């Protein structure tokens, strides 16, 4: 006869509850542990639930100290110092992580412009990396579709206007009359790409010698397409580069610095989708260009452009981290490269400048005006509240309503509107200013101050941040670009 001990019903119920609780805790523990770690971005946590893997950016604790760059006398010296310092810190501090990834066969991409590594991993890997003292934070790498402008007046006939109204508005022709067209200077576009052989652009491309093209050091494609030749399936990048340098010699004078050369990096695909990694990769290429398909650790900072036009945004609403791109833009500026950035098209409400990199103090943020120097309704306003700084933005404005420029297919198109269209006026004008005043080359603080001081100062009645009736303000910044005043200033 078998003896069986009977368990009281209440004890059985307690036992069942305890087992269930253990199961639940077992399921929740990884997420809870990770969620309590402030290093890990919430988007990364969300995308690694239920065993899923996601792209993540591993930002290391150690970042290079570039403070010495400010005291260096030339842009070339700044660039070499900054690039060398960034590379040295990245090579040394990333070595243990890279060894781990290679041992396990985990694909990765190393960056030095900010000390960061991109990986694709599951929650277990993310937890392991977050527990390391040499890891500062783990950001998401969302693929963000930028709200790029398209023509708003497609029914308007496209006509050759010779010098376009917006080019005249910023007084570029008056600078040309002094003999400065941007010769010897280089500007860059980080965008959807460029049709390099467009009639308005080919003769201004640094990779064109008059008979053949060499894209080494002049073009990089950070998208998955990795095109070895400059292309632009979208059109936005071609348009913005043409606003900086465009002139076909047959009446289409659409750029503010037709004597300058251009280079470019593609950071968005045909739909206008980019990611923090592609944006970072392009900044890194432009800081130290290298041959097509080459090693970014062997790029040449002496081939870096004078300015970079950034007519795009990376919204936090899509999971972009402000901090990662902040370090990138800070480092670009430290290298003596002028970072022109579109304010965004989320106006007319106050505090609508929210998207990196437009909200950064180190970005020169550009608002858009029309032919009457009125602020565009869509132009994003300050002050910046997204990061709690209450920073005044934009810094300056330029024409960005009903603009005509070059488009893929060797054509031209009118009716484009956006702060995307305003920003190239600033980026292109750097070529004119630095040709005329070589002492400013690489000195971003003095250059920005001069542009703001000599802008057409405009007050506003809008109450954003309490700057109504003042210059600067949170609508126009200091006002509308006047490059002639800046060039002729004593």
Active site residues: 191, 236, 420
Which two tokens mark 88? 């040295």
Alpha-carbon dihedral of residues 145, 235, 232, 196, nearest 10 degrees? -140
Positive or negative, the CA dihedral 450, 455, 457, 461 is: negative
- Residue for token pair 């960034």: 86
What are the φ/ψ torsions at residue 263 (nearest 5 degrees)?
-135, 170
Euclidean distance between CA atoms 173 and 171, whole angstroms:
6
What are the φ/ψ torsions at residue 191 (nearest 5 degrees)?
-165, -145
Furthest-apart CA pair in the chain: how many Å?
114
Which two tokens mark 2? 């078998």
- Strand partners for 309: 189, 340
Which residues fall within 8 angstroms of residue 22, CB to CB, at 6 or more apart?
A: none
Euclidean distance between CA atoms 60 and 69, whole angstroms:
22
Q: How far apart are the first and last CA of the chain?
A: 112
**Alpha-carbon distance values, 421 to 260, 273, 311, 327, 406 (Å):** 18, 19, 8, 25, 12
Euclidean distance between CA atoms 65 and 424, whole angstroms:
30
Secondary structure (H, E, C), 174-235? HHHCCCCCCCCCEEEEEECCCCCCCCCCHHHECCECCCCECCCCCEEECCCCCCCCCCCCCC
Positive or negative, the CA dihedral 418, 421, 425, 430 is: positive
- Residue for token pair 């913005």: 240
DSSP code, position 418: S
Let me know: does 92 contact 84? Beta carbons within 8 Å.
no
β-strands 252-253, 261-266 pairing: unpaired
Which two tokens mark 116? 């960061």
Let me know: does 169 contact 480? Beta carbons within 8 Å.
yes
Q: Which candidate, 292, 322, 289, places its Cα nearest to that of 308?
A: 289
């Amino acid at each position: 006869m078998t003896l069986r001990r009977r368990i009281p019903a209440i004890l059985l119920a307690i036992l069942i509850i305890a087992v269930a609780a253990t199961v639940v805790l077992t399921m929740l523990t990884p997420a809870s542990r990770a969620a309590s770690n402030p290093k890990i971005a919430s988007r990364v946590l969300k995308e690694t639930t239920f065993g899923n893997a996601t792209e993540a950016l591993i930002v290391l604790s150690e970042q290079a100290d570039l403070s010495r760059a400010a005291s260096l006398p030339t842009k070339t010296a700044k660039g070499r110092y900054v690039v060398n310092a960034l590379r040295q810190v990245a090579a040394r501090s990333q070595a243990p992580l890279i060894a781990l990834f290679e041992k396990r066969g985990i694909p990765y991409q190393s960056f030095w412009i900010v000390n960061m590594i991109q990986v694709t991993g599951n929650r277990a890997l993310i937890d392991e990396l977050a527990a390391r003292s040499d890891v500062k934070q783990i950001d998401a790498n969302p693929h963000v579709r930028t709200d790029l402008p398209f023509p708003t007046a497609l029914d308007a006939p496209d006509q050759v206007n010779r010098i376009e109204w917006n080019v005249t508005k910023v007084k570029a022709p008056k600078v040309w009359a002094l003999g400065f067209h941007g010769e010897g200077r280089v500007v860059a576009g980080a965008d959807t790409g460029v049709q390099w052989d467009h009639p308005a652009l080919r003769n201004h491309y640094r990779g064109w010698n008059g008979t053949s093209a060499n894209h080494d050091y002049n073009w990089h494609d950070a998208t998955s397409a990795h095109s070895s030749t400059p292309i632009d399936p979208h059109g936005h990048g071609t348009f913005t580069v043409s606003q900086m340098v465009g002139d076909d010699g047959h009446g289409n004078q659409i750029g503010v610095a037709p004597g300058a050369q251009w280079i470019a990096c593609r950071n968005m695909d045909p739909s206008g989708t980019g990611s923090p990694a592609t944006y970072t990769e392009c900044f890194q290429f432009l800081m130290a260009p290298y041959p097509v398909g080459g090693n970014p650790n062997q790029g040449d900072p002496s081939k870096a452009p004078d300015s970079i036009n950034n007519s795009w945004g990376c919204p936090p609403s899509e999971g972009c981290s402000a901090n990662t791109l902040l370090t990138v833009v800070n480092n670009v500026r430290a290298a003596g490269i002028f970072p022109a950035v579109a304010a965004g098209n989320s106006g007319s409400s106050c505090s609508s400048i929210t998207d990196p990199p437009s909200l950064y103090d180190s970005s020169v943020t550009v608002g858009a005006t029309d032919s009457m120097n009125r602020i565009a309704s869509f132009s994003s306003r300050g002050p910046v509240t997204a990061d709690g700084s209450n920073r005044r933005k934009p810094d300056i404005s330029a024409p960005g309503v009903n603009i005509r420029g070059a488009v893929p297919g060797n054509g031209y198109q009118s009716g484009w509107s956006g702060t995307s269209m305003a920003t190239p006026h600033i980026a292109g004008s750097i070529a004119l200013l630095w040709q005329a005043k070589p002492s400013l080359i690489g000195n971003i603080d003095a250059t920005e101050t001069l542009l703001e001081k000599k802008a057409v100062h405009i007050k506003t009645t809008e109450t954003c941040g309490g700057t109504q009736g003042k210059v600067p303000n949170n609508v126009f910044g200091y006002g509308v670009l006047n490059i002639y005043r800046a060039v002729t200033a004593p």
